[in-house]
Protein backbone atom coordinates (compact mmCIF):
# COMPACT_ATOMS: atom_id res chain seq x y z
CA UNK A 1 0.00 0.00 0.00
CA UNK A 2 2.82 2.42 0.87
CA UNK A 3 4.53 1.52 -2.40
CA UNK A 4 1.41 2.44 -4.38
CA UNK A 5 1.09 5.71 -2.47
CA UNK A 6 4.77 6.51 -3.14
CA UNK A 7 4.40 5.74 -6.87
CA UNK A 8 1.27 7.90 -7.01
CA UNK A 9 3.10 10.83 -5.41
CA UNK A 10 6.05 10.39 -7.79
CA UNK A 11 3.73 10.37 -10.81
CA UNK A 12 2.05 13.54 -9.55
CA UNK A 13 5.43 15.28 -9.25
CA UNK A 14 6.69 14.61 -12.78
CA UNK A 15 5.45 15.85 -16.10
CA UNK A 16 6.16 14.50 -19.55
CA UNK A 17 8.61 16.56 -21.60
CA UNK A 18 7.19 19.24 -23.89
CA UNK A 19 8.67 20.21 -27.26
CA UNK A 20 8.65 23.74 -28.64
CA UNK A 21 9.97 25.04 -31.94
CA UNK A 22 12.71 27.65 -32.15
CA UNK A 23 13.60 30.05 -34.93
CA UNK A 24 16.62 29.44 -37.14
CA UNK A 25 19.95 31.16 -36.46
CA UNK A 26 22.10 32.50 -39.31
CA UNK A 27 25.75 33.52 -38.91
CA UNK A 28 27.63 35.29 -41.69
CA UNK A 29 31.08 33.69 -41.82
CA UNK A 30 32.65 36.91 -43.15
CA UNK A 31 31.92 38.44 -39.75
CA UNK A 32 33.02 35.23 -37.98
CA UNK A 33 36.38 35.32 -39.78
CA UNK A 34 36.88 38.93 -38.68
CA UNK A 35 36.09 37.87 -35.09
CA UNK A 36 38.32 34.78 -34.97
CA UNK A 37 38.20 32.97 -31.63
CA UNK A 38 35.15 34.93 -30.45
CA UNK A 39 31.60 33.69 -29.97
CA UNK A 40 29.49 35.33 -32.66
CA UNK A 41 25.87 35.96 -31.60
CA UNK A 42 23.11 37.40 -33.79
CA UNK A 43 21.77 40.74 -32.60
CA UNK A 44 18.33 39.27 -31.85
CA UNK A 45 17.41 36.39 -29.53
CA UNK A 46 15.99 33.08 -30.69
CA UNK A 47 12.21 33.29 -31.18
CA UNK A 48 9.92 30.69 -29.67
CA UNK A 49 7.47 29.34 -32.26
CA UNK A 50 5.01 27.96 -29.69
CA UNK A 51 5.97 29.38 -26.29
CA UNK A 52 4.71 27.97 -23.03
CA UNK A 53 3.30 30.89 -21.03
CA UNK A 54 3.61 30.92 -17.27
CA UNK A 55 5.74 27.79 -16.84
CA UNK A 56 9.12 27.20 -15.27
CA UNK A 57 11.63 25.14 -17.22
CA UNK A 58 13.91 22.75 -15.30
CA UNK A 59 16.03 21.43 -18.18
CA UNK A 60 16.29 21.71 -21.96
CA UNK A 61 17.81 19.73 -24.80
CA UNK A 62 17.84 21.41 -28.21
CA UNK A 63 18.15 19.31 -31.34
CA UNK A 64 18.44 20.43 -34.92
CA UNK A 65 20.92 20.64 -37.74
CA UNK A 66 23.63 22.89 -39.04
CA UNK A 67 24.35 23.53 -42.69
CA UNK A 68 26.38 25.89 -44.82
CA UNK A 69 25.33 27.98 -47.80
CA UNK A 70 28.45 26.66 -49.62
CA UNK A 71 30.63 23.61 -48.99
CA UNK A 72 33.65 24.36 -46.80
CA UNK A 73 36.15 22.87 -44.40
CA UNK A 74 35.28 24.26 -40.97
CA UNK A 75 34.46 23.35 -37.41
CA UNK A 76 32.44 25.14 -34.76
CA UNK A 77 31.20 25.02 -31.17
CA UNK A 78 27.78 26.36 -30.19
CA UNK A 79 27.39 28.75 -27.25
CA UNK A 80 24.35 30.26 -25.55
CA UNK A 81 23.57 33.32 -23.44
CA UNK A 82 20.44 34.12 -21.46
CA UNK A 83 20.92 37.89 -21.68
CA UNK A 84 21.60 40.21 -24.58
CA UNK A 85 25.28 40.01 -25.57
CA UNK A 86 25.19 43.83 -25.61
CA UNK A 87 24.39 43.74 -21.87
CA UNK A 88 27.29 41.32 -21.33
CA UNK A 89 29.82 43.84 -22.67
CA UNK A 90 30.36 42.13 -26.03
CA UNK A 91 31.47 44.08 -29.11
CA UNK A 92 29.02 44.89 -31.89
CA UNK A 93 30.44 43.82 -35.26
CA UNK A 94 29.23 43.52 -38.85
CA UNK A 95 27.87 45.77 -41.54
CA UNK A 96 24.57 46.47 -43.23
CA UNK A 97 25.54 43.88 -45.87
CA UNK A 98 26.41 41.09 -43.41
CA UNK A 99 24.01 42.05 -40.64
CA UNK A 100 25.02 43.02 -37.13
CA UNK A 101 26.28 40.57 -34.54
CA UNK A 102 27.99 40.58 -31.16
CA UNK A 103 31.46 39.10 -30.65
CA UNK A 104 32.10 37.79 -27.12
CA UNK A 105 35.08 36.12 -25.52
CA UNK A 106 34.16 32.46 -24.82
CA UNK A 107 34.91 33.04 -21.11
CA UNK A 108 32.50 35.97 -20.77
CA UNK A 109 30.29 35.44 -17.69
CA UNK A 110 26.83 34.47 -18.92
CA UNK A 111 28.16 32.83 -22.11
CA UNK A 112 28.30 29.02 -21.93
CA UNK A 113 29.30 26.31 -24.41
CA UNK A 114 26.22 24.16 -25.09
CA UNK A 115 27.39 21.80 -27.84
CA UNK A 116 28.64 18.53 -26.45
CA UNK A 117 31.35 18.20 -29.11
CA UNK A 118 32.97 20.30 -31.80
CA UNK A 119 30.91 20.00 -34.97
CA UNK A 120 32.60 19.88 -38.37
CA UNK A 121 32.00 20.15 -42.07
CA UNK A 122 34.55 18.25 -44.17
CA UNK A 123 34.30 20.06 -47.53
CA UNK A 124 30.53 19.65 -47.46
CA UNK A 125 27.57 21.92 -46.88
CA UNK A 126 25.94 19.47 -44.47
CA UNK A 127 23.55 19.06 -42.86
CA UNK A 128 25.26 18.08 -39.60
CA UNK A 129 23.03 17.03 -36.68
CA UNK A 130 23.47 18.95 -33.45
CA UNK A 131 22.40 18.46 -29.86
CA UNK A 132 22.70 21.26 -27.31
CA UNK A 133 22.28 21.13 -23.55
CA UNK A 134 23.14 23.17 -20.50
CA UNK A 135 21.63 25.22 -17.69
CA UNK A 136 21.87 28.45 -19.70
CA UNK A 137 19.31 27.06 -22.17
CA UNK A 138 16.72 26.57 -19.41
CA UNK A 139 17.47 30.03 -17.96
CA UNK A 140 17.14 31.59 -21.42
CA UNK A 141 13.78 29.96 -22.08
CA UNK A 142 12.55 30.91 -18.60
CA UNK A 143 13.57 34.53 -19.25
CA UNK A 144 12.33 34.46 -22.87
CA UNK A 145 15.82 35.67 -23.75
CA UNK A 146 17.91 32.97 -25.42
CA UNK A 147 20.80 33.76 -27.75
CA UNK A 148 22.62 31.05 -29.73
CA UNK A 149 26.00 31.71 -31.33
CA UNK A 150 29.15 29.93 -32.41
CA UNK A 151 32.93 30.02 -32.42
CA UNK A 152 33.90 29.11 -35.99
CA UNK A 153 37.28 27.83 -37.21
CA UNK A 154 37.81 27.85 -40.96
CA UNK A 155 35.24 28.80 -43.55
CA UNK A 156 35.16 31.24 -46.37
CA UNK A 157 34.12 34.87 -46.67
CA UNK A 158 30.62 35.16 -48.02
CA UNK A 159 29.54 31.79 -46.64
CA UNK A 160 26.80 31.42 -44.02
CA UNK A 161 26.26 28.95 -41.21
CA UNK A 162 22.65 28.04 -40.52
CA UNK A 163 21.42 26.44 -37.29
CA UNK A 164 17.98 25.24 -38.28
CA UNK A 165 15.11 22.85 -37.59
CA UNK A 166 15.70 23.64 -33.94
CA UNK A 167 13.35 22.15 -31.38
CA UNK A 168 13.67 22.31 -27.61
CA UNK A 169 12.58 19.35 -25.51
CA UNK A 170 11.73 20.81 -22.13
CA UNK A 171 11.27 19.26 -18.72
CA UNK A 172 9.06 21.54 -16.64
CA UNK A 173 9.51 22.34 -12.95
CA UNK A 174 6.59 20.80 -11.11
CA UNK A 175 4.58 23.06 -8.83
CA UNK A 176 6.07 26.29 -10.18
Cα atoms in the Cβ-side hemisphere of radius 13 Å centred on 8? 5
User: What per-residue confidence (pLDDT) applies to 8?
Assistant: 41
Separation between Cα atoms, residue 122 and residue 124, nearest integer Å: 5
Count of Cβ atoms closer than 10 Å to residue 80 Cβ: 27
Rounded (5°) CA angle 23-28-31: 135
Q: Per CATH, which fold does 16-172 belong to?
A: Jelly Rolls (2.60.120)
Structure-model confidence comparison of residues 3 and 87, the more confident one: 87
Which band of pLDDT confidence, cut at 50, 70 and 90, is reported for residue 165?
Answer: very high
Mean pLDDT of the chain: 86
Q: Determine the average pLDDT of the residues in 122-142.
A: 94
Prediction pTM value: 0.87
Strands (E), 96-174: 99-104, 111-113, 119-124, 128-133, 147-154, 160-172
User: What per-residue confidence (pLDDT) applies to 160?
Assistant: 92
Alpha-carbon distances, residue 106 vs 17, 39, 112, 160, 169 (angstroms)? 30, 6, 7, 21, 25
Structure-model confidence comparison of residues 32 and 75, the more confident one: 75
Which band of pLDDT confidence, cut at 50, 70 and 90, is reported for residue 31?
Answer: confident
Rg value, the chain, Cα: 18
Q: Determine the average pLDDT of the residues in 25-45.
A: 88
User: What per-residue confidence (pLDDT) applies to 137?
Assistant: 95
User: What per-residue confidence (pLDDT) applies to 97?
Assistant: 85
pLDDT digits (tens, 9 = 90+) for 73-92: 999 999 999 999 999 999 99
User: What per-residue confidence (pLDDT) applies to 148?
Assistant: 97
- Whether residue 7 has pLDDT greater than 80: no
Q: Determine the average pLDDT of the residues in 167-176.
A: 81
H helices, E strands: number in the chain: 3, 12
Q: Determine the average pLDDT of the residues in 50-76.
A: 88
Question: First vs last Cα of the chain: how many Å apart?
Answer: 29
Separation between Cα atoms, residue 176 and residue 172, nearest integer Å: 9
- Whether residue 4 has pLDDT greater than 50: no
User: What per-residue confidence (pLDDT) applies to 175?
Assistant: 60
Name the helix (H) or strand (E) containing 89. Answer: none
Count of Cβ atoms closer than 10 Å to residue 146 Cβ: 24
- Whether residue 172 has pLDDT greater than 90: no
Separation between Cα atoms, residue 155 and residue 109, nearest integer Å: 27
Separation between Cα atoms, residue 54 and residue 52, nearest integer Å: 7
Amino acid sequence: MLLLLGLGLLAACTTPPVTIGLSNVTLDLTVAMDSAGKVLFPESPVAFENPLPGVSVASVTIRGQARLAQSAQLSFDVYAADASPADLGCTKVGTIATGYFYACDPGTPGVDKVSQETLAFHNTAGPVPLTLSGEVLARGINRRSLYLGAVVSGGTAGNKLYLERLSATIQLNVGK
